[in-house]
Structures are given as C-alpha cells and as structure tokens.
Chains A and B, each alone.
Chain A
Amino acid sequence: MKRVILKATGILVLAAMLTGCGTTAATDTAATSAAAAENATSAVAAATSQAAEAASTAEAAKKSNVTITFGTHQSGLPTSGVVQDLAADFEKETGIKVDFQVTPDDQWRDLLKTKLDSGEAYDIMCVDADPLSLVSRINPEQNCVDLSDQEWVSRMDPLVLPDVTVNGKVYGVQFPGTRISACVYNKDIYQKLGLSVPKTYKDFKANCQKILDSGITPMYEGCQNGWHQVLPVFETGSYYSLLYDNLYEKLNKNEMHITDIKEMKEILEEMKECADAGYFGQDFLSQTVEGGVDAFGTGEAAMMYQSMDFIDQVEEAYPDMKGKMGIFCLPWADNQSVSVNPTNNAYFINKNSKYIDECKQFLNFLARPENLQKRLDGGGITSVCWPEIPSKERPEVQEYMKSLPQGLVMQVGVSYIDPQWMDVGKDIDAMYSGTMTPDEVFQNIEKRRNEQAELQNDPAWAK
C-alpha cells in the first residue's frame, strides 16, 4: 500500500511537470531532475519504513509479530508504569507487542471522539467509564467488541459491571476499585496547635485561621490540572442526596434542577471565602495536584483533599511522615457524609481492529489473578474491583467509611456533570481570580447541563 501511495505522490508531481513539456526534447533535464529528487525522497521513505518494520519484526520474531495499539490518557495509566511492565510480560509470553500512546488528559476525549467518528481508532482504548456518559463518549454498541462471553466477566465485582455494560452486554474491563476522597491532615501540626478535627464549616474556618497564623498553608490546593478545584462541588453529592429525596433521579428526569440545591451555592461561596482569606496559600492557581506530595511531606501545608492513595505517595517520598497523617470529612456546608466513586477508567476493544483476538488475549492476561495482584501492588490504587484480591485499604480508612453515612458522588449519579468538569474548573478559577461570582459559577452548571441535554436529544428535556 505504502509503495502505491508513494508512487501516486510521484505521479502527482511528475504529471504536473510532464504533461505540458513532453513534446520538446529540451525539457528532459527538468523531468529527470524532478524524477531524481522524487526517487530520492521515496527511497528515504522506503528505507525508514523498512528499518522500522525490521526492528519490530526482530523483536517479535519468536511467536507473533503483531503490534496492538493501546490509546490512553495520561491519568489512565498509573505513573508507576505497572501496566507497561505487565505488557512487557505479555510480550515475552506471546510475542504480541503493545504500543502505548499516551495523550494528555485534556485532549483525550476530543481526540478519541474524532478518531471514532472517522472509524480510525486504537485497538484498545482506555476510557473513563460510568453508566451515564459511556454511550455518549464511545458508543460501545457501534464501536466496541462485545466481551460478555469472556471468562473474567464473572469474576469482576458485579457492582462495577454497570459501568461497562450497555443493554445487557459487557464491553469493557475495569481494574481499579472504588475510590473515596477525604481531607488528609497532618496530625503533628494539629496537635502542636491544639486543634481538633472540625465537624462544621465554622470550626474548619477557625482551624484554618490558626494554622495560617502559625505560618503554615492551611489547605493545599492545585488548580493547574484543572480538575481538583471542582471536587468539593460534586463530591459532596452524598450530602445533597441526604437532604433531598431521590435527588439524582429527579435531576436526571429534569424534575429538579441543579439550581435547587442551595447547599452547592453555599459551598462555592465558602470556597471563595477561604481562597480570599489566604487559606489555600498565595499561589494555588499555579500549583499542581502532584505538588501536594512535597508540600505535605515538608510540612508546608497542613491539609489537602485527596483520594486515599495520596497517603501512600507521601509516605513513600517522605518516610518520616509515616503514621502522621489522618483523615476527616471536609465539612463544606457542614457536610458529614462520605461520597463514594465506584467508577474508573476501563479498557475497550475497537470493533474495527484487525487484531481483535490478540486484544482479547491481552485483556485475559491482565485479568489473571497473579496479574491482578501485581497491578494492585504496582501502586496508584488501593483496591481492585475484583473480589478475589483483598483490598489494601488502610484500617483507619475503612473505619472512617463506616463512621458516616455513605452516598454516590454526583458525577456518577447525575447526567451531564462529568462532561463539564473541566469547564466548571475554569469557572472556579475565574471565581477565585475575581472575574466571576459564586452565583454565576452555580448558574453556569445548570446552563451547561441543559445545553448538553439538548445536544444529545435527551427525552427528559424534550417536554
């Protein structure tokens, strides 16, 4: 195929040069020199492509010389590289090479959508999977291979299956388990300042002020990544659900509106208040979430809202911090409940892939018990959604979860929240820098929901 096209390229150029000049002998020079140039060009092209092919064949000559492409976003792969390690093991065993293509988070959804729309996507796709937006994101019935008959389906946590299922058919495999986030705090600093864990927003504010007065940043915040600042708004979903009966269902049926949740607006106002008071430090708009590890390890910051593997990360980088971190429920708007997020990214196989069998082999390989264990031990997660592998959740976390009422985070239970996550992040930045009011941010969430619903022809909005 390549050759044919190269020739076509040549012809295009040559045709342009030859058509008119063929009659006169003198034009030969022109034609030859152009032809020579073009030959040289295609020779280089052929040489490089051959070299590349030769390289990949040599590596995989043992069993198979298939390379499957694995498209993912940055946070789809744990930074420890454990998935790549597993893929290397897989290659050793089968000869099938997995070619990882990592795209930055913010570009991933758009890129994947464009690729799927034109029918040219990766063999395996790593996609954030939740029952509400899966169809709009990748439309599995049209684009993905039905995996319902695979052996591992029965071993996966039944609670997670809905995330990767459309109309009764399973299309994907998920590995990371349920996540919760909470406020991680430095026990030493709390003790030194004689503070106790806050149960109300008022207490929380008072604590922040005392920590700030002692010269420490009370709360670490990193807005650079674009998503962290949004967590308080939607991960307080369990609290909203306690206050309003059947909230999520009513929101999805368009019987209630985001603007009916007064507490959400209250939280936005409180966030603004804390930012203005300096509780997030001075530079939180240019800080990254990853920077939290250092800020915590060096004692520059006393608290951070994070998922539980954060504690592991800090302990690994700063062994001194072992046992010095505790968690509590961040009392935005006096919230005292835990929001659970059972969804995560999952792997799907492209229906148009030439190597469907090889892709299935890879997923089967990842789903083997010993590899599940390896994945869990590889870091980045505290549990896998496979009941056969025991969770590594800390006892204090398990206790914390039992001590408070639980609910689902909003982005998993309510439609059109997750797709606008990054937009809300930008609005919140604008609120912090003074160009938007909390109320405007609040109203925008409702507005974007209506827009998305209209775009997707949601029947609940048609009325």
Chain B
Amino acid sequence: MNLNKRYPSYMAAGAFVLFAVLVFFPGILGIFYSFTNWNSYSSDIRFVGMKNYAKAFSNTEGYTGYIINTLLFTLFTTLLKTILGILLALLFNGTWVRGNHVHRMIIFSPQVMSYLIVGLVFKSLLNPSHGFVNVFLKWCGLGFLAQSWLSKPGLAFASVVLVDTWKGVGYIMMVVLAGLQVISTSYYEAASMDGASFWQQTRYITMPLLAPVLINVTVLNLTYGFRVFDIIYSLTHGGPGHATEVLNTAVYAEFAKGNYAMGTALSSILFVFVMSISYFLLKAMDVKEEADENA
C-alpha cells in the first residue's frame, strides 16, 4: 500500500499552518528587518545591507563579550545539568536511598516555579547583608565564605549558572531516569555474572544505551542555554555592570532603545547559532536511528 495513502500528509496540516502563521511568518519578517534601519522613531524603513551585522561583530558595543558569555553559560549549564542529572538518575535508579520518590519529587519541583519567581526568591536569598545564604553561613561559623553573590562580576556569573542548574537539573534527571528504566535488566545480570563492577557496568552498558537520550537532552539544554533570558533578567539584569549580559539581554536592550533593526539582527545571529547546532545534533540522531533500523 502506498505510504502517502496510509499516512496522509494532511494530518500534519494543522500544526503546519498554525506554526507557519504565528511563528514562522512573523519570525522571518523580523529577520528581514535586520537588514534595514527599522526603528521606533520613523516609519521610513530603508535597506542597509549588512551594516547591523558588521556592527554586532565589530565589538564597539561589547557584543562579542555577550556572545562569549552566552557560549560560556550554555557550556556550563549543559555540562552541569547533564553530569548532575546522570549522577542523580543513577542514584535514584538503584535501591540505595530510602524515600527515593520523595527525594526525586523534591529535586524536580523547582521546575514548576516560573523564572520570575526563581529570580525574586534567589535575589532575596543571596542578598549579602540579610539574605538566607550569608546569614546561614555566618551562623555555621563560616562567615568568611559569605559573599556578595550577585554583585561581584565573576561570582555573579557563577551564581546565575548555579541557580539555573538548581532549577533545571530535576528535569534532566527525570529524562535520564526514564531512559534508564527502559534498559533491560538482563544486560546487567549478565555483566554481574562476569564480575563487572557498578562503574564498569555504567561505562560499558548504561552509557552507550543511553546515548540517544543524552542527545535529546543535549539539544534541549543547548537550545535553552543559547536563548537564555528570563533567569538572567530576573536575577541580575545582566549586571553587575555587564558581567552577566548575554545575547538575548542585548536584544532586549536594543528593543528598549527603539533600535528594532539591531535587536532583530542580534536575535538572527542567535537563530543561526542555535539552528546550526541543533542541525548537527539532529543529523547525528538521524544517522543513529537509521543505523539501528538497518541493524
């Protein structure tokens, strides 16, 4: 039977139309504007070619610094969330810990808070003079560890990364856990008989079988990291100074100035970034899948 008949394409039409009208079309229009001088002060829009892009990469505005920050943020949060997520999932997949489900639930729960609230709460917890963290450190006699968490340049960046990990790691843990639970126990039984240790089993059985899940997770983490805005905006506003500024906060600032064209140029750069990275990962997944199918 003909595939087109059995799986008629019109079933995809709803998603396609809705996406095309409300996401793709306005998005493309936005990208088109990045080649103009579009701003909020005049209705006369002129084509200016690559001028906005040249400015973005010329570093007169410090955008290259923002691009580096975006990359670092993505790198660190992806690594932290993935590594911690895997470790936690391994921990909860076994029977070592009492109250397994309660712990799991607690670690996942920050996921249900909006970034707005996370920002507000941590701003207050990390306040240097009366915030919970420093008060607690002093109470433990660790007063020398008390810091201005959000207002020292390097530290603020680390704080943002950690808070973001705090919020996001639970989700990654859950995904990995789901992946682990699908792996058949017979592999492990066989390995145990051969005398393989836990770490050996993890290295040679779990990780390879988990690879597709990890690719999935990485796509999610990377696309999130590149486009991060909410958590930084609500926690540090890009500050102190410009220490935690990323591409999307710069986009926001350009829009606030009324320089729409520059804003869309920056977000188009981001678009190309995310798109190319996702493309390679998706391709990797496709190749893997086809290999599996052929096997």
Q: Are A and B subunits of one complex? A: yes
A residues within 8 Å of B by Cβ? 12-13, 15-17, 19-20, 106, 109-110, 113-114, 117, 136, 223, 226, 282-283, 285-287, 419, 423, 426-427, 429-436, 452, 455-457
**Interface secondary structure of B, over-half rule:** loop
Is the pair B129, A431 in contact by a Cβ cutoff of 8 Å? no
Residues in A whose Cβ lies below 8 Å from that of B150: 286
Min CB–CB distance A122 → chain B (angstroms) = 17
Cβ-neighbour of A426 out of B18, B128, B242, B255 (below 8 A):
B242
CB distance from B26 to the nearest CB of A (A): 12
Bound form: Cα–Cα A456–B40 in Å: 9
- Asked if B14 contacts A430 (CB within 8 A), the reply is no
Q: Known contacts being A427-B241, A433-B243, is A455 close to B259, with CB within 8 Å?
A: yes
The distance from the CB of B41 to the nearest CB of chain A, in whole angstroms, is 5
Among residues of A, the one whose C-beta sits closest to the C-beta of B252 is A110
- A113 and B42 contact, CB distance less than 8 A: no
Smallest CB separation, A433 vs chain B (Å): 5
Cα–Cα distance between A20 and B7 once the two chains are bound (Å): 11
Are A435 and B128 closer than 8 Å at their CB atoms? no
List residues of B (158-188) whose CB comes within 8 Å of A's CBs. Answer: none
CB contacts under 8 Å to A, within B1-40, are: 8, 10-11, 13-14, 17-18, 39-40
| Contact, CB under 8 Å: A20 / B11 | yes
> Do A286 and B14 contact each other (CB < 8 Å), given the known contacts A136-B258, A419-B257, A435-B241?
no
Name which of B72-80, B202-210, B232-240 contacts chain A: B232-240
Apart from the given pairs A12-B18, A282-B129, A285-B239, 13 other A-B contacts in the complex at a CB distance below 8 Å = A19-B10, A223-B240, A286-B150, A426-B238, A430-B240, A431-B241, A432-B240, A433-B152, A433-B240, A434-B153, A436-B241, A455-B258, A457-B42
Which residues on the A side are within 8 Å of B216 (C-beta)? none
Cβ A113 vs Cβ B17 within 8 A:
no
Residues of B in contact with A (beta carbons under 8 Å apart)? 8, 10-11, 13-14, 17-18, 39-42, 126-129, 148, 150-153, 237-243, 252-253, 255-259
Chain A residues lying within 8 Å of B41, measured Cβ to Cβ, are: 136, 455-457
Task: Knowing A12-B17, A433-B241, say if A423 contacts B40 (CB, 8 Å).
Answer: no
Partner of A435, one of B126, B242, B257: B242
Name B131's closest neighbour in chain A (CB-CB): A286
Residues of A within 8 A of B11 (CB): 16, 20
A452 to B256, CA, bound (A): 12
Question: Which residues from B are CB-within-8-Å of A110?
Answer: 252, 255-256
